[in-house]
Chain A
């Protein structure tokens, strides 16, 4: 399946540069205790996402440090995803700044498609993306990550392994421990891994190792998981004056909850989740998701749950603007029916069946599979069947 990966490098930094003129030409570190994202100049000083902030400041002392505003980055990323929906019927959101598009049935040549996409994204949002095209998500992503922003890289079918061979194992989606062990064994490129026999590699590194070996060979059967665009009801309120007290914030949110429930867009449907957002004084945002235990049709029930949630996790700073979004709209009331954790009808039936069987047989012939030592090289140590005991 031909896939295109659209990668906007340093997405959070680019978003902050667009939002704040005062940091347009500064070195930027975004994060709190650890670095979430950093500008190209900071990367040149050996700063990397995930690094401790104190260490990063030591390496790049002229940089300005910004607190991460994840809700705002996500909203900007959602705008990009909405835009890309116009280019492909199947769009999957990867990590922040990375998107996969299915190119199956595309009329245009992939290369000209990619160039058009890069130009449109720049025109529309000011983001400079790199695009990778390949038969598989991993190779497409690596192609995009290793290509300069503004350019496209296409890997012809059958040439995935040779394209990946000289590239660093750091591009593999593997844990730090496995990468460290690979380094100790002198395996630094994907070609080093691809040359090894699968059996020996898997015996050493387990199922995660097998996945790495396959990816290094350019074998990637992971399907595209297109995002489902959800219908929601949103209401916003610009506060007449900055709200400092929690009571004032609650009054604003209450108005929004009732207004959203009264909206014709809801169409009498039940609501499974609400998200409350606030634009904070001095920049930054606050977001609180409130999933309901069951779908709610009455705004009073929803408000009760939302009010309690806000009281537990209030905004840390004064608020300028509020927003409430109702999600998971459904025609029927829904009850959570998790197989083994919930208390739904199915669960009660399973419990009852187990009790009856135990009364008849003296034991429960129902088992539950549990992971024991999933990392073990000895297959029978990895999982076990435990008697189901409700």
Chain B
């Protein structure tokens, strides 16, 4: 019998990377972002560069349904945000 060479795997040891971060977003009537709050500062959206939707894992209790926006801000930065279509909340996440 060979002894187990290492400590048991624990799920707590695995952390997903690039997790979405909650974000405050002002949206227009059409649902598109018009301003985002980053570091407690309001940044107006200059343009919506891209938008795409992801619907996945519908077989799970919490399915994934997101509407992503790639935004050009007034200071020239680009950020990618999404609206969780299940909870209605906004998140920032690089894609």
Contact = CB atoms under 8 A, between A and B. Distances in A.
Q: Do A and B bind each other?
A: yes
Interface of A: 197-200, 202-203, 367, 369, 372, 377-387, 389
A286 B24 CA distance: 65
Contacts of A200: 50, 52
30 contacts: A197-B50, A199-B50, A199-B52, A199-B70, A199-B95, A200-B50, A200-B52, A202-B52, A203-B68, A372-B16, A377-B54, A378-B56, A378-B57, A378-B64, A379-B94, A380-B20, A380-B93, A382-B17, A382-B18, A384-B14, A384-B15, A384-B17, A385-B16, A386-B13, A386-B14, A386-B15, A387-B14, A389-B6, A389-B7, A389-B13
Interface residues of B, number: 23
B77 interface: no
B4 to A, nearest CB: 13
Contact of B95 (A367, A372, A379, A387): A379
Interface string B45-62: 000001111101100000
B19 A380 contact: yes
Interface of B: 6-7, 13-20, 50-54, 56-57, 64, 68, 70, 93-95
A380 B52 contact: no
A199 B17 contact: no
Nearest to A390: B6
Contacts of A199: 50-52, 68, 70, 95
A383 B18 contact: yes
A379 B6 contact: no
Nearest to A207: B95
Contact of B17 (A198, A203, A380): A380
B17 A369 contact: yes
